[in-house]
Structure 1
Amino acid sequence: MARFIDVHPINPQPRAISQIVTLIRGGGLIAYPTDSCYALGCQVGNREGLDRIKAIRKLDDRHHFTLVCRDFAQLGQFVQISNAVFRSVKASTPGPYTFILPATREVPKRLLHAKKKTVGVRIPEHTVTQAILAELGEPLLSTTLTLPGDEEPLTQAWEIQDRLDHQIDAVVDAGECGTELTTVVDLSGDEPEILRHGAGDTSRFE
């Protein structure tokens, strides 16, 4: 049964954040709120957690997993960024964007796109997510919590617990979160390619 962890949306309780991070470090899989819907998250090196995410969402090797990072410095450890890309990404973060970029050797091969050797990265603008990332000290391996057959991602903690109670280890409830998907921009080629229009403004990439 998934634990239900209430966290204050503006002043996250250190004890609650510590409980969440302890669970993550212990191999747990959580559902947590972001500025763009709920996401599933676990440690980057958690192979079983990755398999559980794939099973819940029925994902294949062509899916771009996302490393949710605390800040730009952390993001830069996991992806290769040219000067031009640096300016675009820096100007768009934190915010509701996911960027597809060539991965560095820091990223486990099983997280990479099978053909492109790329990975998704993002820096969310959400107080609770940022608190979790600060305590964890590393990115969260994540994917948006959209279940097979659903047209919309899940945005309510109680519904997530009801539907995934025996498939995840905890649901983090911090009240309202984003209800629109991130804008996904592929910056791994010569020109930016918008793969999904979402909450983030795409004008600087067009």
Structure 2
Amino acid sequence: MAKILKIYPENPQEHLIQEVIKTLKNGGLIIYPSDTVYAMGCNIFDIKAMEKLAQVKGVKLEKAHFSIICNNLSHLSEFTKPIDTACFRLLKHYLPGPFTFILNANKTLPLAYKGQKTIGIRVPDHPIPQLIVSKLGHPIASTSIKDDDDVLEYTTDPELIAEKYKNIVDLVIDSGYGDNKASTIVDLTEEVPKVIRNEKGDFKD
């Protein structure tokens, strides 16, 4: 049964954040808020946790393409090939924000990402995921929580999310209602940026 923690952006309590960190370090799955929709995440360096995350999504881990959640751009060199000044300025302009940027991956990716040519990078404009990554000491893997409903693609109520996933994840962070629009996805692997999914973020290059 998943534990539910009420953590609000205005005043995230240290001991509650530490409980989230402990869960991630122990290989647990968490549901957390972001500047877009609620998402599910885990420790990118825990292969078993990554396999569980893939299982929840109904895909094999080698076929999964989980975003990497960072708290700033300092982690880029760990996961991506070198980027030019123009690309870095673009990222700095839009992040933190409701965007996922696809970049060319390097060869030092965590084990669960091995073989991937590209990687999705997110820096949410939300204090809770930023704090989690900061306290954990490295980024987390993440995937948006989609709804089974044909009309509402994303559930915004954390209580309903917790009820649905209570036997699947280890911890749910209730931070109030989330958004019902996912991040805008922009491919930066070629010379000209390409919007793959146009959602919450307004990308104008």
Query: Amino acid of the residue matched to residue 46 of structure 2?
Result: N
CA gap 1:45/1:149 in 2 versus in 1, 3 angstroms: farther
TM-score (normalised: structure 1): 0.90
- Output aligned runs, 1:99-114, within 5 Å: 99-111=101-113
| Greater mean alpha carbon deviation, residues 50-59 or residues 182-191 | 50-59
Aligned-residue Cα RMSD (Å) equals: 1.9
Q: Give per-residue Cα distances to partners, 1:24-77, cap 9 Å, x unaligned.
A: 011110000000101111011122222222222223555431100010112342
What are the ranges of 5 or more consecutive residues in structure 2 without an aligned counterpart?
none
**Equivalent position amino acid for 1:90 in 2:** K
SS at match of 2:180: coil
Counterpart position of 2:173: 172
More deviation, 21-30/172-181: 172-181
One-letter amino acid matched to 2:132? I
Quote the residue 1:143 is aligned against.
143
**Structure 1 CA distance for aligned equivalents of residues 142 and 28 of structure 2:** 13
Q: Secondary structure at the match of 1:50?
A: helix
The one-letter amino acid paired with 1:87 is R
Alignment gaps of 5+ in structure 1: none
Instruction: Give SS of 1:77's match.
Output: helix
Q: Partners of 1:111 and 1:197 in 2: how far apart? A: 25
Instruction: Tell me which amino acid in the other structure corresponds to 2:195.
Output: I
Q: Distance in 2 between matches of 1:154 and 1:57?
A: 16
Scaled by the length of structure 2, the TM-score of the pair is: 0.90
Indicate the residue corresponding to 2:6 in structure 1: 6
Aligned-partner Cα distance in 2 for 1:74–1:177? 26
Aligned position for 1:85: 87
**Does the CA-based 8 Å contact 2:54-2:64 persist in structure 1?**
no
The percent of aligned pairs where both chains have the same amino acid is 33
Q: How does 1:13-24 map to 2 (within 5 A)?
A: 13-24=13-24
SS in 2 for 1:27: coil
